[in-house]
Amino acid sequence: MTIYYAHSGNRYKQWHLLKEHLASVSKLAGEYLAGWQGEDEGKLAGLLHDLGKYGDRFQHRLNGQDKGLDHWSQGAFLAIKKGGAIAAALAIQGHHIGLQSLQKEDLKKLNPESLKENHPQHLTLSEANIELLETRLIEDGLSFNKPPARLFTGFLSKSEARVDNMLDVRRLFSALVDADFIDTEAHFNGNGQGKVPRERGLMLNENGLAEQALAILQSHIAKKAGSAEPTAALNRIRQELLQNCLQQAQQKTGAFTLTAPTGSGKTLSMLSFALQHAIENHLERVILVVPYLSIIEQTAKVYRDIFIDIGEGFVLEHHSMAGLGPEKTATDAEGDQEQERQTKRQRLLSENWDASITITTSVQFLESLFSNRPSSCRKIHRIAHAVILFDEVQTLPTHLAIPSLAAVSHIATHWHSSVVFSTATQPAFNHLHPDVIRHCSGGWQPIEIVTAHADMMDKLRRVNFTWLDNKLSWQDLAAILRDQPQLLCIVNLKRHAQELWQTLGDEPDLFHLSTNLCPLHRQAVLTEVRQRLKEGLPCKLIATQCIEAGVDVDFPMVYRAFAPLDAIIQAAGRCNREGEMDKGQTVVFSPECEGWLYPDKTYQQAANVTESLKNELGEQFDLYDPNVIGQYYRRLYLIAAPEQSAKDLYRAIEELDFPQVAQQFRLIKTDMINIVVPYDKVLFESLKRQADDEGLTARWLKRARGLSISLYRPKSDDVIWDSLLPVQQFKQGRYSKQEDWFIVNNINDYDKVLGYKKPESLALYIA
């Protein structure tokens, strides 16, 4: 009998039997989807995903005797023909090329006769005779005797072309991709097919890890509360919030909102909710989704410090700057086997989120839910049986609100998971329920964790607001600020922050903070600012809105350039944060300056809504009143018209076109580049040498993160390109073009206070 292989030899010269690979992937995919309606179809996808490898040409390819072969379309076609398994067919087709179209006409093109005539990837089938491949599968001891229970009983109609149905396909696809990766990696590691150990998240049924974590967290919170004045109003509010979270955590899985004032301890209280909720509902992991990298840095450190005794890998930090990708370099020492093992383990955790607590960004999480690529979708099945915490949810782009709500609502309703939307300024998403329900069966009707949040907000009136009617020039504003010993002034643009700082002059007690400063620089500034505030020393900080969300500072006075309502409230959250004063002061002003006043049109639109609502309500414009916040968001979404602004995305959903959906669902539309700056000269020079020797590696990324800033990709004729050195990716003995990472070529382009200064002319090199 002929022996068929899935993969060539590993380091032990063992070849991977195809029948073992297919059986193992089928088993793993079924385990990943256990108890869900797509479980049987997932098993079928695993069984048939590499059916074309039974073709003689593929077996020759393993010996380097053929190339340019398609070995997946045959299994996809058989899944439809014999099993009526449409979702499995799409997953099988996509496990190498990404999810394609779910349209009936497009799936019919999987017919081998069609592919022989016109293959979309210009490949050749490893074997076009489906009956022959099925016979070889059966002769190898593998078969399916009856049609599986399926996600869809037939091809989807136009009314079924919705976010929820497409997301279910991605979950099945995710399980197949992860199972395939896990089993293939097990073979090449030489430790047996499918035997890569799983973390199993919180492992509730095995050793009570969630209970242990919750006990540690409660001890930490109690210790923190004990150091505060026991009669302080803020401490009482924090205890009230914590008790609300623990009580509501006893409910069944679903969608929740957590609305509480800034500084009330939301970060730790909602984590307490998550762990208690996981215990009550036997959930496997907690996923924290935050909007900005700066919040991730701070939150990840807090979580790691709290759970340091639980062990390595309990908290995973995953985002574009985490430096967790694979790396191999010629300079690695032969004895670094343990380091290599840890690197592989961290990479695996980052690829499939099989950790107890994962902290990630809104971009990473939400774009994965609408992606079609195997690498992005691989983690989706881990989102089931999880508690997903969205922090600072007011930052969700208005044009993507409806599909995002539909996706997370479906997860909370049908995937045995819970979703929590947390913020001090809860968007009025409930009024979008009629729009959301058109894209998922559950709509958007969350449970509020803190029912008395209006009373909580009223009790924490730590700030008085003053609204200045007249516009102020930078000179006028500087004259006012000079008279204040300690203050924070937040403006809308980096250019404005520089202009105001320069107008005030370089004084010992004057500081600047913006995203033109690299993370290490921002951390140093905030450390010094916090120390000066603690010691009662003069301290003036000029900042952009990068300080508003998730940055723990406490000023007696805050000046805020006019902005969207949520930004003004967030700014006020940096004022009298610990409630040590009777009332802090937040002054809202309008700058008188040339040029654009806001970062973009969406930000300006939100600021205009704030202004119109303020003028309309007059003295009733109370920023501690949830009804005012609700009015603001309802009006904002009415004006923003999210369905119209994202019409190309909705069209792609109606057409069940996965590549187009992925292309249209972008939280950040503009392409970004990363620049390494010379804030720390020693580290900077070391990174330059390492980049020359190794190129772009995970190790380099991890070291470079603290010195990096992100910029919108400049136009091709911008003079900035003359001042940047590209960091190239080293692949298979040669450098390939890499256009995402650069190193500043002139150290004078980085200012010790203002950070990166974009050059205004071409660099001149004089011999």
Give the 3-state secondary structure of 735-763: EECCCCEEEECCHHHEECCCEECCCCCCC
Residue 437 class from Cβ within 10 Å (0-12 exposed, 13-18 middle, 19+ buried)? middle
Task: Give the torsion through C-alpha atoms of 440, 443, 449, 451, to 10 deg.
Answer: 180
pLDDT digits over 54-98, tens only? 999 999 999 999 999 999 999 999 999 988 999 999 999 999 999
**What local confidence, expressed as pLDDT, does residue 325 receive?**
44
Structure tokens at 92: 């099988």
Q: Which of 184-198, 226-240, 251-265, 631-645 has the lowest mean pLDDT?
A: 184-198
pLDDT digits over 255-278, tens only? 999 998 887 888 899 999 999 999
pLDDT digits over 299-330, tens only? 888 888 999 988 777 888 876 555 444 433 33
Whole-Å CA distances, 673 to 73, 509, 663, 701, 708: 37, 33, 19, 13, 10
**What local confidence, expressed as pLDDT, does residue 355 receive?**
83
State which amino acid sits at residue 619: E
- Write down which residue in 587, 605, 623 finishes a domain: 623
Mean pLDDT of 348-369: 83
pLDDT-derived band at 351 (thresholds 50, 70, 90) equals low
**DSSP result, 403-471:** HHHHHHHHHHHHSS-EEEEEESS---GGGGHHHHTTTSTT-S-PEES-TTHHHHHHHT--EEEEEEEEE
Q: What are the beta bridge partners of residue 557?
A: 585
- Write down which residue in 582, 606, 623 finishes a domain: 623
Is the pLDDT reported for residue 205 higher than 60?
A: no
Please give the Cα distance from 696 to 700 (Å, whole number): 6
Dihedral sign, Cα of residue 346, residue 351, residue 357, residue 360: positive
170 and 281 share a domain?
no
714 and 742 share a domain?
yes
Task: Give the torsion through C-alpha atoms of 173, 412, 287, 160, to 10 deg.
Answer: 30
Is the pLDDT reported for residue 13 higher than 50?
A: yes
- Write down which residue in 582, 604, 623 finishes a domain: 623
Residue 475, H or E segment: helix 474-482
Higher pLDDT among residues 231 and 673, named by residue? 673
**What local confidence, expressed as pLDDT, does residue 220 receive?**
93
pLDDT-derived band at 189 (thresholds 50, 70, 90) equals confident
Q: For residue 198, tell me if it sits in a domain.
A: no
Tell the residue number behind the tokens 């078969």, with chain if given. 143
CB 427 within 8 A of CB 455: no
pLDDT digits over 605-635, tens only? 999 999 999 999 999 999 999 999 999 999 9
Q: For residue 329, tell me if it sits in a domain.
A: no
72 and 151 share a domain?
yes
Is the pLDDT reported for residue 99 higher than 90?
A: yes
**DSSP result, 191-216:** S-TT-PPP--TT-HHHH-HHHHHHHH
pLDDT-derived band at 233 (thresholds 50, 70, 90) equals confident
562 and 590 share a domain?
yes
Residue 316, H or E segment: strand 315-318
Mean pLDDT of 133-139: 96
358 and 470 share a domain?
no
pLDDT-derived band at 228 (thresholds 50, 70, 90) equals low
Structure tokens at 683: 């580290």
450 and 466 share a domain?
no
37 and 107 share a domain?
yes
Measured in degrees and rounded to the nearest 5, phi and psi for residue 358 equal -115, 130
421 and 450 share a domain?
yes
**What local confidence, expressed as pLDDT, does residue 569 receive?**
93
Is the pLDDT reported for residue 229 higher than 80?
A: no
484 and 595 share a domain?
yes
**What local confidence, expressed as pLDDT, does residue 344 receive?**
52
Q: For residue 649, tell me if it sits in a domain.
A: no
266 and 415 share a domain?
yes
Q: What DSSP character marks residue 108?
A: G
CB 81 within 8 A of CB 72: no
Please give the Cα distance from 36 to 756 (Å, whole number): 51
**What local confidence, expressed as pLDDT, does residue 557 receive?**
97
Please give the Cα distance from 737 to 704 (Å, whole number): 19
**What local confidence, expressed as pLDDT, does residue 262 receive?**
80
Whole-Å CA distances, 591 to 147, 500, 650: 68, 10, 39
Please give the Cα distance from 389 to 396 (Å, whole number): 14
Q: For residue 583, tell me if it sits in a domain.
A: yes
Sheet containing strand 315-318, strands side by side? 315-318, 357-361, 285-290, 386-391, 418-423, 255-259, 447-448
Q: For residue 659, tell me if it sits in a domain.
A: no
CATH of the domain at 387: 3.40.50.300
Q: For residue 662, tell me if it sits in a domain.
A: no
Number of other CB atoms surrounding residue 682 within 10 Å: 8
Mean pLDDT of 366-389: 95
Structure tokens at 18: 């195809």
Q: What average pLDDT is seen over the chain?
A: 88
pLDDT-derived band at 193 (thresholds 50, 70, 90) equals very low
Q: Which of 100-109, 127-136, 137-146, 492-501 has the lowest mean pLDDT?
A: 137-146
Conformational region of residue 35, where left means phi above 0, alpha means psi within -120 to 50, and beta covers everything else: left
**What local confidence, expressed as pLDDT, does residue 298 receive?**
74
**What local confidence, expressed as pLDDT, does residue 426 receive?**
82
Dihedral sign, Cα of residue 440, residue 445, residue 447, residue 453: positive
**What local confidence, expressed as pLDDT, does residue 428 receive?**
79
CB 17 within 8 A of CB 5: yes
pLDDT digits over 416-437, tens only? 999 999 988 888 798 899 999 9
Range of the domain at 508: 461-623
Entry pTM: 0.89
Higher pLDDT among residues 767 and 293, named by residue? 293
pLDDT digits over 447-493, tens only? 999 988 888 888 888 899 999 999 999 999 999 999 899 999 999 99
CB 151 within 8 A of CB 38: yes
Share of the chain above pLDDT 90, in %: 67
Contacts of 569 (CB under 8 A, 6+ apart): 262, 424, 425, 623, 629
pLDDT-derived band at 716 (thresholds 50, 70, 90) equals confident
Q: For residue 640, tell me if it sits in a domain.
A: no
Q: Which of 40-54, 190-204, 227-241, 323-337 has the lowest mean pLDDT?
A: 323-337
Whole-Å CA distances, 692 to 120, 499, 559, 732, 743: 39, 37, 46, 16, 11
Mean pLDDT of 384-388: 96
pLDDT-derived band at 636 (thresholds 50, 70, 90) equals very high
| Total residues belonging to the chain | 767
**What local confidence, expressed as pLDDT, does residue 194 receive?**
43
3-state class of 720 per DSSP? helix
Q: For residue 12, tell me if it sits in a domain.
A: yes
Tell the residue number behind the tokens 């996600």, with chain if given. 151
432 and 488 share a domain?
no
pLDDT digits over 331-346, tens only? 333 334 444 444 554 5
Is the pLDDT reported for residue 737 higher than 60?
A: no
613 and 599 share a domain?
yes
**What local confidence, expressed as pLDDT, does residue 731 receive?**
53
Structure tokens at 139: 């002769």
Number of domains in the chain: 4
Measured in degrees and rounded to the nearest 5, phi and psi for residue 543 equal -140, 160
Is the pLDDT reported for residue 221 higher than 60?
A: yes
Is the pLDDT reported for residue 349 higher than 70?
A: no
